Structure 1
Amino acid sequence: MKYIVVLGDGMADEPIAALENKTPLAWAKTPNLDRLSRLSELGMVHTIPGGMKPGSDTANLAVLGYNPEKYYSGRSPLEALSIGVPMKDTDIAVRCNIVTLSEEEGPFGEKRIIDHSSSEISTEDCAVLLREVERQLADETYQFYVGTSYRHCLIWNRGKVVELTPPHDILGQKIGQYLPEDEVLREMTEKSYHILVNHPLNLERKKKGLNPANCCWFWGAGTKPALTSFQEKTGKKGMMVSAVDLLKGIAVGAGMGVACVEGANGGLYTNYAGKVEAAVNALTRQGYDFAYIHLEAPDEMGHQGNAEKKVQAIEFLDGKVIGPLVEKMEDAGEAFRLLVLPDHPTPVRVRTHTSESVPYMLYDSTSLRRHEQSYNEEECRKTGNFVASGYRLIDKFLAV
């Protein structure tokens, strides 16, 4: 038996008036999910423990079977693992997003975060900007490391875990009250804006109608993580297929394999076919038992507040991942279980993560159910199936 998770990041949502009061998941045309859902177990799962913030870090740890209350040590340290940062036990890793701030005259604290992803800037362009910030601000205490797209890392030697605000939580708001309390981080935030606001690359981006990547925003501070081996914990050899450093970092920390898929960028137009191929190859040719295919686009479209594109992201998940994946596994003659779910909701209305439970679909190619329910929030809720502790869902999934 092979096991596959398809994780649509932030895919769950609320009913939206423009979608005839349906959620994007219920509105989207998903023939492959519709077919499988009628043969699957449907239900709801709560991935965010009480009192913890609804991040992709805590939620994906839970989906992989790690209790976030035990294993979570901060978001950025997990990403640091992915990009090969040599963290010492005394280091603090801090996420460094390069965001778009408004550029009106006046005090720095009056500016607003316009776009947390700077028009989904490419890694290549963002690396140019981060290197200039590094040239002017890095020293023995603070070191910058390039990640993916707008997502990068700051290592703070002998630092401290401080409370910092995720930029996607305050889109459109004045930044003054959310700037770091730590004096050095606060100063670096403002200095980075002055370094980047008139950088030639940003001037060129504005000419093209793209948002400038004009400020480093620090958040997600934490200590070096220590995860139990996924294989030791589950008895399954696992492969991670994701474009996002956070998920790759969780995999590295858990001793899982990490697939490198050319053209996978975490956006709406990622290399879906390459991700499917990487997962199938791992399961059918490379001796892996478990593959985790992570798709970031639904979350990004939720942060953008774009219901139409979120629907499109879900339709891409269905047509470009679920359909080909099932077909390839069937052609290979492999018995398999497929778990489809979001990690958390990212409602278009609020443009950030929330803690509500999310719908899951568990398909077993060897044990088909028969019912008429479809895979969406309302239908899954109606089943009455509920997993209260998200990290226990994997026990149900891997049970034979």
Structure 2
Amino acid sequence: MKYVVILGDGMADYPMPELDNKTPLQYAKKPTIDMLASKGTVGLVRTVPEGIAPGSDAANLSVMGYNPKVYYTGRSPLEAVSMGLDLSSTDVALRCNLVHLSEDESEYSDKTMIDYSSDEISTAESKVLIEAVNNTLKTADINFYPGISYRHCMVWSNGKTSLGCTPPHDISDKKITDYLPKEESGLLLNLMKKSYEVLKDHPVNQARKARGLRTANSIWLWGEGKKPALSSFQEKYHKTGAMISAVDLLKGIGICAGLDSIDVEGATGNIDTNFIGKANAAIQALESGKDFVYVHVEAPDECGHRHEIENKVKAIELLDSQVVKPILEGISKFDYRVLVLPDHPTPLRLRTHTSEPVPFIIYDSTHEIQSSAKSYDEFEAKKSGVFVDDGYKLMDLFIKGSL
């Protein structure tokens, strides 16, 4: 038996007037996923436990079968692991976004979060900028490391946690005054302020401005935590496996769980990602002997954060036609189970994550059923009456066939 998780990050949503008062999942043309829903188990799962912020970190830990209340230590350490950083037990890792803040205000704290991704800045450009920040602001205890696009890492030796940091994608178009770090010494805020002076007139940003692009004029620190200690997925479920994702967070979760992390050329984490490349990588991993693959697609989440209604629908349709369909065709010679779901909702109207339960499908090629679900969406899943309250138990249902 082969096992495939296909996760459309943030694709659950609310009805939108622009979509005939349907959710993107209801509105999108997704015949392959709807077919799975008609022949599989459809229900709702709570991936984010009460008391934990609705992030992709905690939610994907749940989907992977790890209780966030036990294993979650923060987002950035998972990303740091993916980047190859060797964290000590006393290191605190923080996500370091390159963001674009408004430029007219004289006081840093009066600025507005215009773009948490700096127009999806290229990895090559951002590497130069993070190196400039590190050369100017590093200390014996503080170091900055380049990642992908706008997503980078700061490591604070013997650092603190519970720093009162806010994800920048939660405050798009908002004044940053009330969302600055609450860390007592002011170290983080001081670093952010100084980064603005380093970055605002940097040659890379001058060139971006000349091309009509937003500059990456500040770092934004958040997602602090220490290295987690996940038990091995293979020991837990007796399956060998691989993680396929464009983002360091998911790669880090996979690595910490002992899965192989497979890089796909052209995988960007956005609507222009190499969807079909991810599908082919999943097929190849299973054909080469892996029992389990986790295919993560970030695009619906990014579209939700950016209020890109048409693109969010398009991302779901591409997930159906260029990921789900080719994977099913490619593994048809095996007995297999497929789990399709988001990690959390990213409602277009809110532009941030929420904690509501999300719809899932479990399809077993050896045991098709006649489901009452007419399609795969939030409302059909709710009507099914199937509800998994402890999200981390869904993997037991998927792998073992029972909770």
Question: TM-score scaled by structure 2?
Answer: 0.97
Letter in 1 for 2:329: E
1:72 offset after TM fit, Å?
0.4
> What is the alpha-carbon distance in structure 2 between the residues aligned to residue 128 and residue 313 of structure 1?
31
> What is the alpha-carbon distance in structure 1 between the residues aligned to residue 256 and residue 313 of structure 2?
33
> What is the alpha-carbon distance in structure 1 between the residues aligned to residue 124 and residue 341 of structure 2?
31
Equivalent in the alignment of 2:200: 197
1:238 aligned onto 2:241:
yes
1:65 offset after TM fit, Å?
0.2
> What is the alpha-carbon distance in structure 2 between the residues aligned to residue 118 and residue 326 of structure 1?
37
1:172 aligned onto 2:144:
no
Moved more, 344-353 or 104-113: 104-113
User: Which secondary structure does the structure 2 equivalent of 1:121 belong to?
Assistant: coil
Equivalent in the alignment of 1:253: 256
**Aligned match for 2:275, one of 257, 269, 272:** 272
> What is the alpha-carbon distance in structure 1 between the residues aligned to residue 216 and residue 40 of structure 2?
44
1:199 offset after TM fit, Å?
1.5
Equivalent in the alignment of 1:123: 123
1:398 offset after TM fit, Å?
0.5
> What is the alpha-carbon distance in structure 1 between the residues aligned to residue 209 and residue 327 of structure 2?
39
> What is the alpha-carbon distance in structure 2 between the residues aligned to residue 207 and residue 373 of structure 1?
51
Equivalent in the alignment of 2:342: 342
User: Which secondary structure does the structure 2 equivalent of 1:114 belong to?
Assistant: strand
1:208 aligned onto 2:211:
yes
1:274 offset after TM fit, Å?
1.5
Measured against aligned partners, the alpha-carbon deviations of 1:77-135 in whole angstroms (never above 9, x if no partner) come to 11111011111111111110111111113211110111111111221111111111111
Alignment of 1:29-108 (within 5 A): 29-108=29-108
Moved more, 254-263 or 174-183: 174-183
User: Which secondary structure does the structure 1 equivalent of 2:220 belong to?
Assistant: strand
User: Which secondary structure does the structure 1 equivalent of 2:329 belong to?
Assistant: helix
> What is the alpha-carbon distance in structure 1 between the residues aligned to residue 223 and residue 85 of structure 2?
16
RMSD value, Cα = 1.0
> What is the alpha-carbon distance in structure 2 between the residues aligned to residue 35 and residue 225 of structure 1?
38
1:277 offset after TM fit, Å?
1.3
Measured against aligned partners, the alpha-carbon deviations of 1:364-395 in whole angstroms (never above 9, x if no partner) come to 11111124521011111110110001000011
> What is the alpha-carbon distance in structure 2 between the residues aligned to residue 160 and residue 306 of structure 1?
36
1:212 offset after TM fit, Å?
1.4
Equivalent in the alignment of 2:400: 399
Equivalent in the alignment of 2:231: 228
1:315 aligned onto 2:294:
no
User: Which secondary structure does the structure 2 equivalent of 1:219 belong to?
Assistant: strand
1:173 offset after TM fit, Å?
1.2
> What is the alpha-carbon distance in structure 1 between the residues aligned to residue 320 and residue 215 of structure 2?
33
**How many aligned residue pairs are there?**
397
1:202 offset after TM fit, Å?
1.5
> What is the alpha-carbon distance in structure 1 between the residues aligned to residue 390 and residue 313 of structure 2?
28
User: Which secondary structure does the structure 1 equivalent of 2:93 belong to?
Assistant: strand
> What is the alpha-carbon distance in structure 1 between the residues aligned to residue 154 and residue 86 of structure 2?
12
> What is the alpha-carbon distance in structure 2 between the residues aligned to residue 13 and residue 362 of structure 1?
20
Q: Which runs of 5+ in 1 are unaligned?
A: none
1:326 aligned onto 2:328:
yes
User: Which secondary structure does the structure 1 equivalent of 2:331 belong to?
Assistant: helix
> What is the alpha-carbon distance in structure 1 between the residues aligned to residue 299 and residue 92 of structure 2?
29
Measured against aligned partners, the alpha-carbon deviations of 1:343-380 in whole angstroms (never above 9, x if no partner) come to 00000001000000100011111111124521011111
> What is the alpha-carbon distance in structure 1 between the residues aligned to residue 92 and residue 80 of structure 2?
10
**Aligned match for 2:285, one of 270, 273, 282:** 282
Equivalent in the alignment of 2:112: 112
> What is the alpha-carbon distance in structure 1 between the residues aligned to residue 294 and residue 42 of structure 2?
19
> What is the alpha-carbon distance in structure 1 between the residues aligned to residue 322 and residue 335 of structure 2?
21
User: Which secondary structure does the structure 1 equivalent of 2:330 belong to?
Assistant: helix
> What is the alpha-carbon distance in structure 2 between the residues aligned to residue 115 and residue 53 of structure 1?
21
Identical-residue share of aligned pairs (%): 53
User: Which secondary structure does the structure 2 equivalent of 1:3 belong to?
Assistant: strand
**Aligned match for 2:188, one of 170, 185, 189:** 185
Measured against aligned partners, the alpha-carbon deviations of 1:58-78 in whole angstroms (never above 9, x if no partner) come to 000000000000000111011
Q: Which runs of 5+ in 2 are unaligned?
A: none
Equivalent in the alignment of 2:164: 163
> What is the alpha-carbon distance in structure 1 between the residues aligned to residue 44 and residue 212 of structure 2?
41
> What is the alpha-carbon distance in structure 2 between the residues aligned to residue 208 and residue 390 of structure 1?
45
1:271 offset after TM fit, Å?
1.2
User: Which secondary structure does the structure 2 equivalent of 1:294 belong to?
Assistant: strand
1:207 offset after TM fit, Å?
2.8
Equivalent in the alignment of 1:388: 389
1:33 offset after TM fit, Å?
1.2
1:215 offset after TM fit, Å?
0.8
1:259 offset after TM fit, Å?
0.4
User: Which secondary structure does the structure 2 equivalent of 1:314 belong to?
Assistant: helix
Letter in 1 for 2:11: M
Question: TM-score scaled by structure 1?
Answer: 0.97
User: Which secondary structure does the structure 2 equivalent of 1:5 belong to?
Assistant: strand
